[in-house]
Amino acid sequence: MELSSEQSQHKHEKDVLLIEQEEPSKENVDDISQIESAHRESQAVGLTEDPPGACPDVNPITNETGVKANVNVTQSQSASTSSSSSREMLNEQAQMLIDEVNAKRKRDTALLGEYKKALEIQASNAYSMVEQNVFVLYERNGKQLQDKLQELFATLDRIAKLELELDQFRVSLGALYKEIH
C-alpha cells in the first residue's frame, strides 16, 4: 500500500509525536544531556547557531523527567495534526478491516462453490444409483409382468374357446328341446 506525500508527512509527524512522548531511558537522558551540553558549548564558542529558517513557534521545553522536547506552541496545529493523524490511523484500520472482511468473504464464496460442486457430484452419483436401481426393478418387474400377461392371455383364449363351445352346446340343446316338444 503506497502512501501519498501528505499521508507520509502525517505518518512522520505522528511518529515524531510518539517519539517525543516516550519516556526516555536513563541512557537516553544521559545521551541527550551530553548532546545538549555540547550544543550549548559550541554555541557559546560561536561554532553553531540555530539553522536559518528555524520554526519560530517551536520552543524547547522540559517535561517531567527533565528532558527537553520540542513542542508546538500553537495548540491548534498540534490538535489538527493529532486529529488528522488519528483520522488517518482510523481510516487505515477501517480499510484493513474491510479488506479482511472482503478476503474472508472471497474465501467463504470459494468454499461455498466447492461445497456446491461436491453436493452436485454427490447428488449426481445418488441419482445415477437410483436410476440404475429403477431400471433393474423395471426389468425384473417387466419379466414378471410379461409372464403374468402371457398367462392371462392364454386363460382368456381358453375362456373364448369354452364360450364358443358353450354357445354351440346351447344351440344344439335348444334344437334338441324343440325336437322333443
> Taking the domains of the chain in order of start, what are their residue ranges?
1-48+60-71
Torsion angles phi and psi, residue 50, rounded to 5? -60, 140
Give the whole-angstrom CA distance, residue 50 versus residue 53.
9
Decide: 73 and 59 in contact? Cβ < 8 Å.
yes
**Which DSSP state fits 155?**
H
C-alpha closest to that of 143 among 131, 132, 135, 133: 135
Query: What pLDDT is recorded for position 80?
Result: 63
Query: What pLDDT is recorded for position 85?
Result: 85
Kindly report, residue by residue over 34-85, the tens digit of the pLDDT. 555 555 555 554 444 444 444 444 444 444 444 444 444 455 555 567 778 8
Half-sphere exposure at residue 70, Cβ-oriented, CA atoms within 13 angstroms? 11
Decide: 22 and 64 in contact? Cβ < 8 Å.
no
